[in-house]
Amino acid sequence: MARACLRLPLLCLLAGVGLSAAQVPSGPPLHEIRLTAKKYEYNPREIRVKQGERVRLLITPTDRKHGFELKEFGVKTELPEGKETAIEFTPDRPGEFEFKCSVYCGWRHRSMKGKLIVEPATSN
Ligand SMILES: [Cu+2]
């Protein structure tokens, strides 16, 4: 390995980066969920996560600018059209919470909603 690194330092550098990324030890697991948004719905409409895990939503509006508001966890952001926006939060309590569009997008804007289900953390 060491000798190969003398000849192919870049390759070894990349291998090292891959290794360290795989070994990141600290912090709760990250749960990534992709959504799309369009008049007047999110897809999926319902997302399910676990209490205490870090959640990263990656939302892409496909038709125009929309928004995403999840009051209980202090999330409110605009979603520019065609661009993936990352939203991170850690749900600290279980339950069912409504999220909704926060940017007026048409006559049924108020019906553009979804549900976040936070399952209780299992303690054993
Ligand atoms: Cu809207």
Cα(38) to centroid(ligand 1), Å: 9
* pLDDT tens digits for range 30-75: 999 999 999 999 999 999 999 999 999 999 999 999 999 999 999 9
Cα(51) to centroid(ligand 1), Å: 28
Cα(59) to centroid(ligand 1), Å: 14
Q: Which helix (H) or strand (E) holds 43?
A: strand 41-43
Check pLDDT > 70 for residue 83: yes
Check pLDDT > 80 for residue 96: yes
Q: Where are the domains positioned within the chain? A: 27-119
Cα(89) to centroid(ligand 1), Å: 21
Cα(67) to centroid(ligand 1), Å: 6
Cα(108) to centroid(ligand 1), Å: 8
Is the CATH code 2.60.40.1120 the one for domain 27-119?
A: no
Cα(43) to centroid(ligand 1), Å: 14
Q: Which one, of 84, 88, 26, 95, lies nearest residue 59 by Cα? A: 84
pTM of the complete model: 0.77
Ion ligand 1 — residues with CB under 5 Å?
Answer: 101, 105, 109, 112
pLDDT of residue 1: 44
Average of per-residue pLDDT across 12-37: 68
pLDDT of residue 12: 45
Separation between Cα atoms, residue 56 and residue 63, nearest integer Å: 22
Backbone angles phi, psi at 88, to 5 degrees: -120, 140
pLDDT of residue 18: 47
